Amino acid sequence: MEYADPVSDLLDPWGAFTTRLFRESCVFHKGNYVKDLSHLGRDLNRVIIIDNSPASYIFHPDNAVPVESWFDDTSDTELLDLLPFFERLSKVDDIYELLHRNISRIKS
């Protein structure tokens, strides 16, 4: 089982995530694991990256939803707090406008 599967299962008990990609799916680039969305063969207007490391999304920063690092803090609710935003994203045809309008609020 992937280390992030338990969190993904909690956030997506209905199986709405069509794909889960982890470190094994990344490209090793200049000493970092980078999520190269171009390898997915999907419309990037409908794909987001949720990650705590900006290096992970240097190829596609406009698709990124940055989050804080998580280290077994049982009081952490960051991803749960983002669920309404993710729901809004799921209802738009092009994620970029909504991401751009809200990214400063997400980062703060």
Residues 11 and 15: their CA atoms lie apart, in Å, by 9
Contact 66, 54 (CB under 8 A): yes
Q: Taking the domain 5-107, which CATH number applies?
A: 3.40.50.1000
Of the candidates 54, 84, 67, 47, which has an alpha carbon nearest to the alpha carbon of residue 4? Answer: 67
Per-residue pLDDT of the chain (108 residues; tens, 9 = 90+): 466 778 778 878 888 777 777 778 899 999 999 999 998 899 999 999 999 999 999 999 999 999 988 777 888 888 889 989 999 998 999 999 999 888 776 655
| 100, containing H or E segment | helix 95-107
Residues 31 and 67: their CA atoms lie apart, in Å, by 21
Per-residue pLDDT, 2: 64
User: Per-domain residue ranges for the chain?
Assistant: 5-107
**pTM of the model as a whole:** 0.77
Per-residue pLDDT, 96: 93
DSSP state of 36: -
